Chain A
Amino acid sequence: MPHLATYVGLADHSEQTLADSLRAVADGHAHLADVFHTCSQLAGWSDDHRERLAPVVRRYGEEDVAEPERLRADALEYPREGEVGLLRDLQDLHLLATLVHTTWTVIAQGAQGLRDEELLEIARHCDAETSRQISWFETRLKVAAPQALIVTP
């Protein structure tokens, strides 16, 4: 099952990327208390997903074949400044989380085919939390957008 292993590796990697990016955004916008605290909290969720996945990674191995490499996104290392910068950063987080989300969807399908209940349970649990991360990005985008676009100097 080399391809499942590839996707398990991709899940691990993309969760890591998301966690790193969330922490970068938290620090970059630390003066916005809710952004700081929520992003830090959501980064913790991604860390937790990787921990849950760790035994599976050991079981299937973390195959690193060339093809899905193109799916890998880079972490957001340098958060942008200001209210418009926050909008862009949230959009980037949204993109990264969407990659995580679709990765879990793929893994859940594979786990069902294999009747690997342990993996299925992990994929479902993590994907549900990924959706909650995405919902928060959307909510926060909606809050920030009007003021950032219309009034901000």
Chain B
Amino acid sequence: MADRTVHVWGARTPTARGSAWPERVDVHLDGVREDEVDRWVGAACVLCSNGCGCEIAVKDGRMVGVRGRAADRVNRGRLGPKGLYGSTPWASSPDRLTTPLVREDGRLVETDWDTAMGRIVERSRALLDEKGPLSHGFYTSGQLFLEEYYTLAVIGKAGLGTPHMDGNTRLCTATAGASLKESFGADGQPASYDDIEQCDALFLFGHNMPETQTVLWARILDRIEGSEPPRVVCVDPRRTEVAVAAGRTGGVHLAPRVGTNLALMNALTRELLAHEWLDADWVEAHTVGLEELRATVEPYTPEEAARTCGVDADDVRRAARIFGESGAVLSTVLQGFYQSHQATAAACGVNNLHLLRGMLGRPGCGVLQMNGQPTAQNTRETGADGDLTGFRNWENAAHVEELARLWNVDPMTIPHWAPPTHAMQIFGYAETGSIGLLWISATNPAVSMPESPRIRRILGGDQCFVVVQDLFLTETAALADVVLPAAGWGEKTGTFTNADRTVHLAEKAVDPPGEARSDLDIFLTYADAMGLTDRDGSPLVGWRTPEEAYDAWVEASRGRPCDYSGITYDLLRERGAVQWPLGTTRLYADAEFPTSTDYCEDYGHDLATGATTTEQQHRATAAAGRAFLKAAAYSPPHEEPSEDYPLIFTTGRVVHQFHTRTKTGRSRRLHHAAPDPWVELSEADARALGIADGQRVRVESPRGSLEAPARIGPVTEGAVFAPFHYAGAGQANELTMTVWDPVSKQPTFKTAACRVVPLEGD
């Protein structure tokens, strides 16, 4: 097979509009032939949110490669370079954690499980006695399985009773969830990947799909090569592959200045309204808030957008016309919007365009507020992050009551008196020691959080006891007081859900190394050791196996928007991939939204300030099944370029790496394809600063600096781009600042003022 780090999207299989995406099976094996493989084990790839169905090749008790599953609705056999080359090599890496570690005299030393868990329990009990449950914080990931998140949620919410639970999903997809709640009343992706074959226009908002979800992009490229291709509109400050596709298909590339997305969205909305490109009857019947929306967007003429965003006014008109006149529009949204200033309001702006045109729930019509990480959807569903389990509303006493009954605990145990604590706040409490035990699972905040020097100080200090469970001794684990070795993908069984509600079962293929245990087992060990019980003194967590945990979750989801009823392990084994709710390709086909006050997941927020809407205010809207058209005025970013820091620093991803490279950095091929960090400058800025392509530079913000070679590239003038995957001297998050969206509380990675200094002697 061709080297897919070079041919990232593989060979084309052109797809005509309305026809099924053809199969093409991609395989990669490390040093064995296909006929030498002992077993193939069913799974799905966990290296991005796409969830490509695959099988793991096992030879002599080791994972030796992967093969796409032809029948899978998500990928029809395809895998991208990350999935092919990054799925298995990490597992046999010699630096896996194989025993628990505890800190002795300042150093981490090997120990056994009883000792390690004993230390955690001792500290945990002491803190509970002294300060109560608010002394505990949990920070998890977007990479565990549903069963593990649900177990963690029950331990935290019903066992201990702490509101301080969040995931690193806060950093990647909190805005997806928040915008869906604001517009439609509950989380849940309305659209389906099948809409790619049905649409006649595709809008990608801040979504560099060719790099983040390569197989999904291959699917779009196949539409572009087939008959009746869709027109592509790209909103991104960089000239990405999406922008190239926009040019090829007669679409538009809008490159707004970093931090001005909302002004652009308001202008697009205003154009739709001004030309009456809306389904007036549908809007009247199924939405509330049209007049406020009209008033909010009124000042944003195309000329105003041109001034604020630095785009061409006619391009704004053309993009709006494509949205307004196409018969079926599919939109996707990702980090370019989510990690930017006014994130939730901008993402709601995309929902608004679809609501105005009644383009939801029909073939080819829909919104995908994408997830970054493979299992981020499940963190939100189960409530392992700040959400209440099963898309319930923490402010609704009846919802809390329901969970209390299910878990057989006092409703007062379940923290619901205040909004759940978001990640940035959890680290703030850990900084002062107000949280005295912080438990981090499968994530590396020492590299991935904004203002990373501060995060490392918090983790390394004495004020808070830090537990880390992971595959490797990450930069975060190295600072912990107790480190627990975890089993990874292929070494344990569990389910997860991708960005179009498709559930996959990933089975255990091999045993974990040494004494490593699955995250589920680790959480169960803690629950047992703490003696967590329900109201009758029975064990609070009654399950032992992944399947039992999953069945318990199905009960918790019943009757809620994310209802998993009917989707069993057996069904997943039989069909491979199943969307929730069972038998539902698209949500809201009946234009009935989960917005009634008693059912909704959230009463909503003021998009500008983040102030919560009260139950009474929500009732007064009388939405009752109608969606919300919500908007906010644009305000300039928190940190604008100044004389000292004249450029805007922005971060993002590259195709061959995922997150902080815990896995992808251990694939030789992926590592060689993108071994080192770099920073990208526009030609004009490079010329003005006298910087040559390849020259080493230092990028400085008021908070820190990084050093890396410069690349002259397609980034817009005035901006500096750096990938965020790398630790060390090239670590992008040294420069970013602690600011977050008022509603989703997602940190703003995309904007910080900076300056670039050329370095000599290179």
Could you tell me which A residues sit within 8 Å of B by CB distance?
Answer: 32-34, 37-38, 41-42, 83, 132-133, 135-136, 138-139, 142-143, 145-147, 150-153
Contact = CB atoms under 8 A, between A and B. Distances in A.
Interface in B390-428: 417-419, 421, 424-425, 428
A93 to B, nearest CB: 13
A42 B293 CA distance: 21
Given A83-B434, A139-B612, A33 B424 contact: yes
A127 to B, nearest CB: 15
Contact of B418 (A32, A38, A142, A152): A142
Nearest to B134: A151
A42 B737 CA distance: 21
Given A34-B740, A151-B134, A143 B608 contact: no
Interface string B574-614: 00000000000000000000000000000000101111100
Contacts of A38: 609-610, 742
16 contacts: A33-B737, A33-B739, A41-B609, A132-B606, A132-B608, A132-B609, A132-B611, A135-B609, A136-B610, A136-B611, A139-B611, A143-B421, A150-B131, A151-B132, A151-B429, A152-B432
Contact of A41 (B428, B429, B612, B635): B635
Contacts of A41: 608-609, 635
A143 B609 CA distance: 14
A143 B742 contact: no
Contact of B606 (A37, A135, A143): A135
B433 A42 contact: no
Nearest to B429: A147
Given A32-B428, A146-B417, A151-B131, A37 B611 contact: no
Given A146-B417, A150-B132, A135 B612 contact: yes
Query: Nearest 7 A-B pairs (CB), nearest first?
Result: A135-B611, A136-B611, A136-B609, A33-B738, A139-B611, A151-B134, A142-B418
> Interface of chain A, helix or strand or loop or mixed?
helix
B390 to A, nearest CB: 23
Nearest to B638: A37
Given A135-B606, A143-B421, A146-B134, 5 more contacts: A41-B609, A135-B612, A139-B612, A143-B419, A147-B134
A135 B612 CA distance: 7
B135 interface: yes
Nearest to A137: B611
A38 B606 CA distance: 12
B363 interface: no
A98 to B, nearest CB: 15
Given A132-B606, A146-B418, A138 B134 contact: no
Nearest to A44: B635
Nearest to B424: A33
Contacts of B206: none
Nearest to B436: A151
Contacts of A133: 609
A147 B418 CA distance: 10
Contacts of A42: 609
Contacts of A34: 610, 739-740, 742
Given A34-B742, A38-B742, A147 B434 contact: yes
Contact of B163 (A135, A146, A153): A146
B377 to A, nearest CB: 26
B509 to A, nearest CB: 43
Contacts, number: 68
B709 to A, nearest CB: 32
B606 A153 contact: no
B610 A139 contact: yes
Contacts of A151: 131-132, 134-135, 429, 434-435
Contact of A153 (B428, B434, B740): B434
- For B134, B435, B611, B740, which residue has the most chain A Cβ atoms within 10 angstroms? B611
B47 to A, nearest CB: 31
Contacts of A143: 418-419, 421, 425
Contacts of B606: 132, 135-136
B611 A153 contact: no
Contacts of B610: 34, 38, 136, 139
A150 B608 contact: no
- For A37, A142, A147, which residue has the most chain B Cβ atoms within 10 angstroms? A147
A30 to B, nearest CB: 11
Contacts of A145: 418
Given A33-B424, A41-B635, A143-B418, A152 B434 contact: yes
A151 B131 CA distance: 6
A34 B419 CA distance: 15
A119 B425 CA distance: 42
A41 B342 CA distance: 13
B611 A138 contact: yes
A37 B739 contact: yes
A38 B743 CA distance: 12
Interface in B619-638: 635, 638
Contacts of B737: 33
A139 B604 CA distance: 12
A151 B739 CA distance: 25
Contacts of A152: 432, 434
A83 B132 CA distance: 18
Nearest to B741: A34
Nearest to B617: A135
A150 B134 contact: yes
B569 to A, nearest CB: 39
A59 to B, nearest CB: 26
B164 to A, nearest CB: 8
A64 B638 CA distance: 38
Nearest to A145: B418
B633 to A, nearest CB: 11
B135 A142 contact: no
A83 B435 CA distance: 13
A153 B132 contact: no
A147 B419 CA distance: 12
A41 B609 CA distance: 9
Contacts of B131: 150-151
Contacts of B428: 32
A153 B417 contact: no
Contacts of A83: 432, 434
A145 B418 CA distance: 9
A152 B738 CA distance: 22
Nearest to A138: B611
A41 B425 CA distance: 20
B422 to A, nearest CB: 9
Interface string B114-134: 000000000000000001101
Contacts of A153: 433-434
Contacts of B608: 41, 132
A127 B138 CA distance: 40
Contacts of B425: 143
Nearest to A141: B418
Nearest to B614: A135
Contacts of A138: 611
B611 A33 contact: no
A9 B425 CA distance: 40
Contacts of B432: 83, 152
A15 to B, nearest CB: 17
B298 to A, nearest CB: 14
A106 B131 CA distance: 47
A83 B737 CA distance: 21
A56 B131 CA distance: 55
Contacts of A142: 417-419
